[in-house]
Structure 1
Amino acid sequence: MMRRRLAAASVALVALLLAGCASIPTSGPVQAGDPQSADAANDVDILVPGPADGATQSEILEGFITAALSPRNNYQVAREFLTAEFADEWQADAGATIDVLADRELVAVNETTMRVDATPAAALLENGQYEEPDVRTPIPLDYRFEQVDGEWRISSAPTGILIDRIGFTQVFREYPLYFLDPTFEYFVPDVRWFSGPESAQTSIVQAILAGPAEWLAPGVVSAFPEGVELDPAAVPVSGGVASVSLVGAAFEDLSTVQRMQAQLDASLVGVRNIDSVALTLNGVDPAAPPLTPEPVRNPRVDPRSVVYDGETFGYLATSGEGIDPIAGISDTVATLAPTGASLGLDAEAVAVRNENGVWVVRSDEEAVLLDPRDGLVTPAIDGQGVVWSVPANLPDQLAWFAPDGDTAQVPVPWSGSTIAAIEVSRDSTRMAALLSDGGRTHFVVASIERGADGRPVGLGPTVLDLADVPGTALDVAWLDSRSVASITGIDGGATRIVTQELGGFARDRDGPASGVLIDGGNNDLRVLTAAGDLDVASGVGWQVRAGGIRFIASQQPG
């Protein structure tokens, strides 16, 4: 049996840019940095050669994998490495295995079969959803060969493509699809990745019609009725206008039509120079007025940190000196001797933890004890004023408490021996959690399912697994509508911060020494240290903004 490393660059590639030529790296370590945006002006077209005469099985396999870097004309060049029959069957768009190129190995199994052992860095599902793997053990991918007119060709291969992460960022682009929260007040992003920039707008519309990702679906709604289809099955763009023709349902409700248009506008405008979307329904222009008010795409919080210094709870002055109390709230919070808190929508309520449990303080009202259980994490509060609470050592015992006193414990989709932190997104559709399970710390997001009255029914049954995090779980925070961050402690008092785009990449950086809590602000990382210093990210380092702080609180918009 032959075993060897698969060549990092088996053929020469040429990337042609609008302004000239540039090479694309197809090997080497993953580099930190943002993937190219969906509306990048210089979309890359990778030119790859077809099979050479007399090529060996291994050369055909390497050439086929490399040719999949070019999605042009439905992977036309890659199909040249296949038998004619299999070329018609191969489903290139059925997803992707994104692997670690340096660890990729090729094995000759027998005279007509070769295997690639690929160590997964991520997976791309058929719907364009990017997922972190549960485990990172090698995946065996078998390729079978036949001779056609004396030349080796592949007669069987896994569906989808095999691509390394650097190649992935060159071939695929990320596109946020937008769905709606149940109140129709917010757009909720669902990031997908598609290849073939010339057909991105069609992929986006088809994905919207198919509905949100499985993990997100329980917490959001779509304006598009079931059974609606894109006909013709393409979205042409002319003069900056994308034409979307839908059929298959009666479109008689004005508000539904307005929300459909709003979803399409939010998801398509800005993609491939699209300035507007022309919608036709069963061949008719609905001529619906724009939806007003338009749902908020990325709700923001007060830019000031919410802190407690042992005496005053409120907004930290922008100078870092002094705390501005919150009228009707701060004095009552201070009397509880709090150890943690989360500020609600418009600063009208705050969920507070102290030695006796979790309380709620509503503006100009007395504090109410909600959860007297021992060992609670800092509670979360959502935009409906619902307080969420869970014991650190019992992560499956999550409970919610509504403003009218109603309460329930709900099943959770995560597992772990302990839970360090929870926080609700600013559109109140998702919950992030940081858990530990033995020596593993993991980071998940689940959707929040609500009934018609807005009360939580529970969390969705499926979580979005984010990057595994090294060290001891400490805290989690939302940065914006698409990104979350965690902080973990590692040896010697050092900390590590991981920022994760939901449906995208994770990036990590060193945090300040002895960090204990993290706050996202408006994509503005802040870390509180054990010494009471509030540090803010400054370039590659950290700068002290204030001292003498006991804790920093998360916020809902306001």
Structure 2
Amino acid sequence: MIRRRFLPTVALFLALTGVAGCASLPETSPVQVLRQVGDGEGNTPPPGPVEGSNPLDLVRDFVFASGSSAAEHGSARRFLAADAVEWDDAATVTVLDGQFDTVPAPGAQDASTGTTTIRIRGTAVGRLSSAGAFEPDQATFQEDITVVRRDGQWRISNVPAGVVVPLSIFRDNYKQVRTWFVDPVRRLAVADPRYVPSVPSKAQPARALELLLAGPSGALLGAAVSQFPPGAQLRSNAAVGPDGALIVDLTGVGDLDEPARQLMAAQVVLTLAEVNVARVRLLVDGEPLLPGRPELTREDVAALSAEVQPGADVPGLVVAGGRVRQLTGPEPSAPLPGPVGNGAYYVESAASTGDGRRLAAVARQGSRRILLVGSGAEGSVSPVALDATTMTRPTWTPTGGEVWTVLNGTVVARVLVDGTAPARTGQVNADQLSALGPIRDLRLSRDGMRVVAVVGGALYTGAVARSIDGEVAIRNINRLRPDDLGEVVAADWRSAESIVAVTRGTEMLVGQVSVDGLNVQQVLGNNLTPPLTAIAAASNRPMLVTDQTGVWSFAGGDQAAWKQVLGGAPDAVPLYPG
């Protein structure tokens, strides 16, 4: 990826010459896309400068060539004059959207030196960190590059440190790899997206291991941990054995009990599965990490993945006209039993746990809101000790033992439900989030490690950090693609790495955004009547949105338009478990 950072593992790269096989990981159902925001023209990076290029074209081709990190950005270096041979390509990788300009900078010509200055201007969507994580920061970008005429040809004589590359070229040259770390509370593996160069592919396992040993990225810092202590390292270069399994021999891992060994195995095997390593012979100081199980596959550790998917038999629900009803399942539109379905409370929003056993609902009483918590199957609920002018729709942790809601746009409340004692209320430290504006919507990811929030009309993500003394905080706040999304109304998690949102825009009514903000896609908007007010999503289930006529469903794939599933309900709030 960046040459100085990967020098310690060159020998490891060279040893990985026969990695084969394919480990398939669960995918969300496809989303039909009208356009890919920031794709640009899809130009192929040139092999080197074109003979007789003018300064503007030279710099433009240099930017496209910079996407390839092979041979220390060897393709891009062919555009440099001898003056620029010390270009520091390891400083940063700034990713631009698809449209950028190369124009003469003010006072571009310098007759005394025979140079001219070309300005790159466009919009940056973010930067790749030294840990291979994408950090979103959509903002205006400009950078000046000096070119000089030598032997009748223009070449770059001065270029700022770092690499600038269009998004489409970045996608062509980098592969997303989920590195896996540990939820310290549930003791399960959680994904942390990173990016490694696509070429050479043989080096990808080594680079993935390097990122894994370095620990979680900034986005999950303080939330996820690693079973690898700081001194852990490879005892020898990873190598492919005679049977095709990748041999990974570790040292310095310390004394581990059996659960810790299993989690360490899950971290390694799930991470390597991202780069098509099907079988891993995982050793510590030459002996199997898991005694009696020298060789592991993704299936051997899949049960340790933290993301909870709603049960296939747990129906989607909808709140409409003050009542909670089934939206999917054997009896669509049937009200739930008990006070949430019979009108005893005027319900405004609700959420069930992943298994459907518990239900939380926000109900209106006069000008105030209360939170009800109880049984999802029976519909029996009781008020908890929360009262506010406004409450956001509830959201559950993966275990179903905790439900969150935002009071008056500022206070993130958590209610602990253990099934035996009365519900207990607490507060999440959300100062970093509430300082940005009123919180209009907040959803916990289904692995429990992140939140997505709509704050002041913008879309944000944050990590859920839990301390040993029981404090819970939302940290590492990132804003996602403000220029593309505009004013956001509501959002939900489609998967642990993907968010869907509805906006007040006219061009992108529904957008799907990667959790790190690198990618944003416009979802088909046929049949929808804006403004949209609510959205619900889950892996392998159709998206649900509410427009001015009711609730609509879209599953992607070959579906050509949204289908109405509930009419005459402009106030409806659909929900999937979680």
TM-score range normalised by the length of the shorter chain: 0.7 to 0.9
* Structure 1 unaligned blocks of 5 or more: 1-29, 37-43
Tell me the equivalent position of 2:403. Answer: 387
Which residue among 303, 309, 331 is the counterpart of 1:294?
303
- The farther-off stretch of 339-348 and 497-506 is 339-348
Which residue among 487, 503, 506 is the counterpart of 1:488?
503
Tell me the equivalent position of 2:514. Answer: 501
For the residue of structure 1 that corresponds to 2:451, the secondary structure is strand
Tell me the equivalent position of 2:430. Answer: 411
TM-superposed deviation, 1:213: 2.0
Which residue among 259, 263, 267 is the counterpart of 1:259?
263
CA distance 1:554–1:222, change in 2 (3 Å): farther
Q: Does 1:123 align with 2:126?
A: yes
Q: Deviations over 1:451-487 (max 9, x none)?
A: 347x552111x21321226565422111112111111
Tell me the equivalent position of 1:75. Answer: 73
TM-superposed deviation, 1:151: 7.4
- Is residue 422–residue 432 contact of structure 1 (8 Å, CA) maintained in 2? yes
Measure, in 1, the Cα distance between the counterparts of 2:234 and 2:104.
42
Residue type of the alignment partner of 2:190: V
- Is residue 342–residue 553 contact of structure 1 (8 Å, CA) maintained in 2? no
TM-superposed deviation, 1:196: 3.4
Tell me the equivalent position of 1:22. Answer: none
Q: Deviations over 1:48-71 (max 9, x none)?
A: 434578877666545543432433
Q: Does 1:369 align with 2:388?
A: no
Measure, in 2, the Cα distance between the counterparts of 1:389 and 1:31.
34
CA distance 1:176–1:119, change in 2 (3 Å): same
Q: Deviations over 1:177-231 (max 9, x none)?
A: 2223224464322222222332222222111222222122222222222232345
The alignment of Structure 1 onto Structure 2 pairs a total of residues equal to: 506
Which residue among 275, 280, 283 is the counterpart of 1:280?
283
CA distance 1:409–1:165, change in 2 (3 Å): closer
Measure, in 2, the Cα distance between the counterparts of 1:427 and 1:333.
33
For the residue of structure 1 that corresponds to 2:131, the secondary structure is coil
Tell me the equivalent position of 1:247. Answer: 251
TM-superposed deviation, 1:498: 1.2
CA distance 1:338–1:159, change in 2 (3 Å): same
CA distance 1:324–1:335, change in 2 (3 Å): closer
CA distance 1:300–1:324, change in 2 (3 Å): farther
Q: Deviations over 1:241-268 (max 9, x none)?
A: 3333433442543332321221121122
TM-superposed deviation, 1:81: 3.7
Tell me the equivalent position of 2:546. Answer: 528
CA distance 1:31–1:194, change in 2 (3 Å): farther
TM-superposed deviation, 1:152: 6.6
Residue type of the alignment partner of 1:496: L
Measure, in 2, the Cα distance between the counterparts of 1:245 and 1:556.
41
Measure, in 2, the Cα distance between the counterparts of 1:315 and 1:411.
33
For the residue of structure 2 that corresponds to 1:98, the secondary structure is strand
Tell me the equivalent position of 1:132. Answer: 136
CA distance 1:109–1:216, change in 2 (3 Å): farther
Residue type of the alignment partner of 1:520: A
- The farther-off stretch of 398-407 and 107-116 is 107-116
Residue type of the alignment partner of 1:485: V
| Larger RCO, structure (CA 8 Å, separation 6 or more) | 2
Alignment RMSD: 3.8
Tell me the equivalent position of 2:478. Answer: 464
- The farther-off stretch of 311-320 and 262-271 is 311-320
Measure, in 2, the Cα distance between the counterparts of 1:423 and 1:60.
47
Measure, in 1, the Cα distance between the counterparts of 2:336 and 2:389.
29
- Is residue 377–residue 421 contact of structure 1 (8 Å, CA) maintained in 2? yes
Tell me the equivalent position of 1:402. Answer: 416
CA distance 1:49–1:316, change in 2 (3 Å): closer
Q: Does 1:336 align with 2:342?
A: no
CA distance 1:306–1:193, change in 2 (3 Å): same
Which residue among 310, 323, 327 is the counterpart of 1:316?
327
* Structure 2 unaligned blocks of 5 or more: 1-32, 418-422
- Is residue 396–residue 404 contact of structure 2 (8 Å, CA) maintained in 1? yes
For the residue of structure 2 that corresponds to 1:65, the secondary structure is helix
Measure, in 2, the Cα distance between the counterparts of 1:536 and 1:510.
9
Measure, in 1, the Cα distance between the counterparts of 2:487 and 2:357.
33
Tell me the equivalent position of 1:13. Answer: none
Measure, in 2, the Cα distance between the counterparts of 1:312 and 1:242.
56
Q: Deviations over 1:477-522 (max 9, x none)?
A: 111121111112346xx97111111123011235411432111032
Measure, in 2, the Cα distance between the counterparts of 1:190 and 1:464.
15
Residue type of the alignment partner of 1:373: A
Q: Does 1:551 align with 2:564?
A: no
- The farther-off stretch of 97-106 and 508-517 is 97-106
Measure, in 1, the Cα distance between the counterparts of 2:174 and 2:493.
26
